Amino acid sequence: MLVLGCLDRLLFGASPTVYGVLFLPVCALTAVWVRRGDLLAAPVVVPNAFVVGLLPLAGGDEGFKGRLVGLVTALAVQAGWLYGGTLIAGAIGLVRRVRFVRRRRLARLRPPA
């Protein structure tokens, strides 16, 4: 997300809409590519990646406090993208987890051949 944030700033002038639209497929890919043992971690990691990617896009005055205020403002304004991406990652992770648990139960119930 940091790379996408930098590309957004470079190519699109720090467009928050472009960043949000790019964030959604990244959330889906994260939930699809994560290991089975870490399926429930996907919805936790995605918001952290969103914040890291917002760093190059967040406005604000020079200095630490100005950048922090810009980041918090950007998070507040872009909360819809953040919630949507987290929901996507959570839903995909939950579906994958349920399928994994069902397969494991069926394998235990089948008698060995």
pLDDT per residue over 57-100, tens digit each? 988 778 889 989 999 999 999 999 999 999 999 999 999 999 99
Averaged pLDDT score across all residues of the chain: 92
The phi and psi torsions of 41 (rounded to 5 degrees) equal: -85, -20
Structural tokens at position 107 = 């394998």
pLDDT of 113 > 90? The answer is no
> ∠27-14-8 over CA atoms, to 5°?
50
- pTM of the entire predicted model: 0.85
Give the count of beta carbons closer than 10 Å to the beta carbon of residue 92: 20
Amino acid code (one letter) for 110? R
In 3-state terms, what secondary structure has residue 99? helix
